[in-house]
Amino acid sequence: MSNVSESRFNMWRAVFAMAHADNVVTVQERAFMENYLKQVPFSPRQAEALRQDMEEAQDVNEMFAQIVEPEDYAAFFQFARELVWSDGDMAAQEEAIKERLKAEYMDKFDLKRLERELAQSRAGAQEEREADKTDGVVSFLKKMITGGRK
């Protein structure tokens, strides 16, 4: 069972389509896509579609138009930026597509605000993970020192 909504899945399809925008899928772009295929809990159907998208270019506009959740719009621009920079070269075609999509949807959603909130949410989650690790170590050390007594 997938934990990935159709909107998020279509966001990923649009990101994968960006890799083909300059008609060259580099080794770095392929590694980027394969990495997320392993990390994100896609359903078998979704994973297969994305594997096909890695090989066969899809229309970025068509995939992007199927995104319905505001946070998925913001995530698209973040992941698209990571993808096109993964090979160290943001091709003019990739940049033009990304900027056109951003301009078209800027009025629909406050994308700058969504990108900031997404970055803050990720930073907060990282801080929580670090705090949990620290709390766990402190708790362990207290138990060791006190022999489990409170």
Please name which of 69, 65, 15 lies closest in space to residue 37, comparing C-alpha atoms.
Answer: 15
3-state SS string over the chain?
CCCCCHHHHHHHHHHHHHHCCCCCCCHHHHHHHHHHHHHCCCCHHHHHHHHHHHHCCCCHHHHHHCCCCHHHHHHHHHHHHHHHHCCCCCCHHHHHHHHHHHHHHHCCCCHHHHHHHHHHHHHHHHHHHHHHHHHHHHHHHHHHHHCCCC
- Report, as an integer, the average pLDDT of 116-143: 61
For 60-72, the pLDDT digits (tens) are 889 989 999 988 9
Asked whether the beta carbons of 51 and 87 are under 8 A apart, the reply is: no
Structural domain boundaries in the chain: 6-109, 110-150
Q: Is this model's pTM higher than 0.75 or not?
A: no
For 8-31, the pLDDT digits (tens) are 999 999 999 988 887 888 888 899
50 compared with 108, residue with greater pLDDT: 50
